[in-house]
Chains A and B, each alone.
Chain A
Amino acid sequence: MIKATILICEVLCFVLALMIAIRLLKPQRKSVSCLVLCISAFALLSHQTMQVVPLLHDEISLTALDQKNEESKGAEVDLNHIRVDNRLITAFNIKEGSWYSVSGRYSWRPAEDTRWDGSASDSITLRVPVGWERTIHFHSNPWRGYVQISDPNHHKEILDTYSEEAGIVTYAIGKSDQWKLLLNGALQILIYTLSLSLLTFMFIFVTHHSKEGGE
């Protein structure tokens, strides 16, 4: 419902921007298609902006427990990626703590592992964008150990990231609070509207200004 509302608002804003541009610029018939193309490009650009601007997020804590099951050869923890509503996140937004970047993953290694400088903290706090379907994906293999995940509702769970063969262990973070989703949707619409209005009105201004003999 929220997603559909955002889409409808985007279309409405686009139509409104187009109508205003046509009304104010009064283009000749042959120029209308150019104007439509231009405003469409602004709309796509605004949509792209909406994807990039960081909005609301939840905080999740990951704690490497330095523990492993009996079969595991190590207690390492490797965060592979986060998925929010089918959007993949590999560049993590870390609020507190730091791990190592290893082969494109964000990894915790025990302090006694001499291949690393021992600077990794046991816990990190991640900022995860709000969304409906959110999962956190850990890399698994015979050297992986336990990690404790504290989700936004402060529910804690211990996950074993060990597996005989390399793979992925997934943990579902779940949906964000409804009010956060609503607020996030409103912010998205706001950013889109602001961006499109800014671009459209600036375009109208510079074009109109030139027509009036501003040159």
Chain B
Amino acid sequence: MTLVSGWGRFPVVDSEVLRPRSFEAVGAAVAQVTGSVARGNGRAYGDAAIGVSRTIAMTGFDRVRSFDRATGRIRLEAGVLLSDLIDTFGPRGFLPFVVPGTRFVSVGGAIAADVHGKNHHGEGGFGRYVDSILLRTGAGETIEVSRVQHPDAFFATVGGMGLTGVILEATLRLRSVETGWIRERVISASDLDAAMRALEASVSATYSVAWIDCVARGRDLGRSLIYLGEHARTDELAEGAARFPAGKNPGLGVPIDLPSMTLNRYSIRAFNELYYRMGARRAGGDHVVSLYPYFFPLDSISDWNRIYGRRGFLQHQCVIPEAGARAVLGDILDRVARRGDASFLAVLKKLGHGDGLLSFPLPGYTLALDFPVKGDILNFLDEIDRLVVAAGGRLYLAKDARQSRATFEAGYPALSRFNAIRKSLDPAGNIRSRLSQRLFDEV
């Protein structure tokens, strides 16, 4: 057995990690035991990609099967990372339609979590650009699922957290781009109302996201920098700039677990103050930035999860339906600011409809916050969850390590339909993760 954890390094649990080299071996790995689940690049924060007894590592399956330049359609194995896709096909003028905040996720993981990016409000999630999926079910069948063929299984697999079976391959559509640069505009917003107004006013922007200074209190509560982006055309690049920027692998790293006191209310306050002022100075006109820092600001620091120390951290990402969002978000931010230990990563973003049965997005606002694991944080997050549930919101399973069944069931009304489809694909319940054990499975 091996100690396994997600990106948040909480919880850490025992699971047997297998690294099969063929799809047959994947099938055997699933069939031999009860309670296995696939794992991509391990960027889910909590317990989603940890098998109850066995974890099936999929990153060895990293082949592209075919690519059609005319349509941008690509067939690939599930372990291909988005970073690999971007580095390989970006210079040829193609990018994934949807990228989350890190490029170091696998295609299989991106489908299973139906990840969203800064364009979700207009263009939807990762699953919207998936044409079909080769799935190895818990019952031992290997089936191709799409919107036409086994549509129930398709919409349960998109956002299904790997619980419908092991995603082996997928066919995606890539976006044709002229360059690998983004024309960025920064807007500074002095409080939460201004931030939400700015996001609302920029729904026609392809990309939009707000960074919130969640230390700011009182009349500064919710002060933000909003980053809008459009794909830059060739004629918008600086003279002599390469059409596609170099994607540097992370250089600077966090080699050790920092003492958990490194991030305290004073260091975070100082960081946020500086970050806000520097950003506010850039606000105004458009400028062209590489896609790498625009989409993946934290990827340049490898192992940044270690700055929260040995005990790990929790990310709390909720979405609140549009109608009640202002009041609830204000309440959450106020409680967080009064606690004083969150988080130099606080992100506010407008979302649209989700596609999968268990996809996280719904029309409204999503707020993501990081907290180190210490003190009474679990109780505090339970309080926040009550506000989320009361407002008709839900939590993102790919980030979750601790929500209660009640919170989960309240947030995902399609759950019973999902469970029925899952049961038909896996009657014996072979596919089980720590997350499913915590939230889905009969006890």
A and B: bona fide binding partners: no
**What is the interface of chain B, defined by CB distance below 8 A to chain A?**
none
